[in-house]
Amino acid sequence: MPWRLRHHRYQLAVSKIDLATDAAWSFLRLMKANRLLFVAGLFAGGLVVSDLPAADSAPKTPKKPVATTYQGVTVEDLYQWLEEDNDPQVKAWSGAQNQRTRQYLDKLPDRAAVEKQLTEWYAKTSPSYFSLVSRPEIVFAMKFQPPKQQPLLVALASVDDLKSEKVVLDPNVLDANGTTTIDWFVPSVDGKRIAISLSKGGSENGTLHFYETATGKALPDAIAHVQYPTAGGSAAWNADDTGVYYTRFPRKGERPDADLNFYQQIYFHKLGAPDTEDTYSIGKDFPRIAEIALEGSHDGKYILATVANGDGGDFAHYLLGPDGTWKQVTQFSDQIKVARLGRDNALYLLSRADAPRGKILRLPLEVPKLQNAAEIVASGEAVIQQIVPSTDALYVADLLGGPSQIRRFDLNGKNEMVISIPQVSAVQEMLALEDGSFLFRDVSYTEPAAWFRCANEKTEPVKTALRSTSPVSFGDIEVRRAFATSKDGTKIPLNILFGKGMKQDSQNPTVLYGYGGYGISLSPNFDFTRRLWFDRGGIYVVANTRGGGEFGEEWHKAGNLTKKQNVFDDFAAAAEYLIKENYTRSEKLATQGGSNGGLLMGAMITQHPDLMRAVVSQVGIYDMLRVELAPNGAFNVTEFGTVKDPEQFKALYAYSPYHHVVDGTKYPAVLMMTGANDGRVAPYHSRKMVARLDEANKSGNPILLRTSSSAGHGIGTALSERIKQLADIYAFLFAQLKTKRITKSE
pLDDT, position 468? 92
Strand partners, 674: 707
pLDDT digit string, tens, across residues 233-250: 999 999 999 999 999 999
With respect to residue 610, please indicate whether it lies within any of the assigned structural domains.
yes
The dihedral of CA 255, 261, 264, 266: what is its sign? positive
pLDDT digit string, tens, across residues 689-708: 999 999 999 999 999 999 88
Q: Do 479 and 420 sit in the same domain of this protein?
A: no
Strand partners, 335: none
- Specify the DSSP element, H or E, that contains 307: strand 303-309
Q: How far is it, in rounded angstroms, from Cα 81 to Cα 741?
A: 45
pLDDT digit string, tens, across residues 3-30: 333 333 333 333 333 333 332 222 222 2
Which of the pair, 384 or 740, is modelled with greater confidence? Answer: 384
Q: Do 437 and 397 sit in the same domain of this protein?
A: yes
pLDDT, position 40? 25
Residue ending a domain, among 469, 492, 526, is 469
Q: What are phi and psi of 223, to 5 degrees?
A: -125, 120
With respect to residue 137, please indicate whether it lies within any of the assigned structural domains.
no
51: confidence class by pLDDT, cuts 50, 70, 90: low
623: confidence class by pLDDT, cuts 50, 70, 90: very high
CB 651 within 8 A of CB 279: no
Q: How far is CA 488 from the centre of its chain?
A: 29
Q: Do 459 and 496 sit in the same domain of this protein?
A: no
Whether the pLDDT of residue 534 is over 90: the answer is yes
Note down the domain range covering 447.
Answer: 382-469
Whether the pLDDT of residue 311 is over 90: the answer is no
pLDDT, position 147? 87
Q: How far is it, in rounded angstroms, from Cα 558 to Cα 456?
A: 39
Lowest mean pLDDT among 432-446, 453-467, 509-523, 714-728: 714-728
pLDDT, position 650? 98
CATH number, residue 627: 3.40.50.1820
pLDDT over 70, % of the chain: 91
Q: How far is it, in rounded angstroms, from Cα 687 to Cα 673?
A: 10
Strands 510-513 and 539-543: parallel
Lowest mean pLDDT among 41-55, 535-549, 688-702: 41-55
pLDDT over 90, % of the chain: 80
Q: What is the pTM of this model?
A: 0.84
Whole-angstrom CA distances from 521 to 418, 486, 546, 547 are 21, 18, 10, 9
Tell me the average pLDDT across 378-391.
94
Burial of 333 (0-12, 13-18, 19+ CB in 10 A): exposed
Whether the pLDDT of residue 36 is over 50: the answer is no
Whether the pLDDT of residue 354 is over 80: the answer is yes
CB 213 within 8 A of CB 194: yes
Rounded to the nearest integer, the mean pLDDT of the chain is 89
pLDDT, position 14? 32
Q: Do 581 and 680 sit in the same domain of this protein?
A: yes
Q: Do 483 and 632 sit in the same domain of this protein?
A: yes
Q: How far is it, in rounded angstroms, from Cα 593 to Cα 570?
A: 14
pLDDT, position 109? 87
With respect to residue 579, please indicate whether it lies within any of the assigned structural domains.
yes
Q: Do 477 and 463 sit in the same domain of this protein?
A: no
What are the start-end ranges of the E strands in 335-437? 336-341, 346-351, 359-364, 374-377, 383-389, 394-399, 404-409, 417-419, 425-432
The dihedral of CA 673, 675, 681, 682: what is its sign? positive
Q: Do 450 and 578 sit in the same domain of this protein?
A: no
The dihedral of CA 321, 324, 326, 327: what is its sign? negative
pLDDT digit string, tens, across residues 367-379: 999 999 999 999 9
pLDDT, position 694? 95
pLDDT, position 295? 97
Report the domain count for the chain.
2
Whole-angstrom CA distances from 684 to 89, 203, 515, 583, 713 are 13, 16, 20, 36, 13
The helix/strand/coil state of 201 is coil
52: confidence class by pLDDT, cuts 50, 70, 90: low
Whether the pLDDT of residue 712 is over 50: the answer is yes
Q: Do 413 and 518 sit in the same domain of this protein?
A: no
With respect to residue 398, please indicate whether it lies within any of the assigned structural domains.
yes
CA-based end-to-end distance of the chain: 51
pLDDT, position 709? 73
The amino acid present at 265, given as its one-letter code, is Q
Strand partners, 441: 429, 451
With respect to residue 213, please indicate whether it lies within any of the assigned structural domains.
no
Q: Do 536 and 561 sit in the same domain of this protein?
A: yes
Q: Do 684 and 725 sit in the same domain of this protein?
A: yes
pLDDT, position 37? 27
Residue ending a domain, among 469, 488, 505, is 469
What is the number of residues in the chain?
746
With respect to residue 344, please indicate whether it lies within any of the assigned structural domains.
no
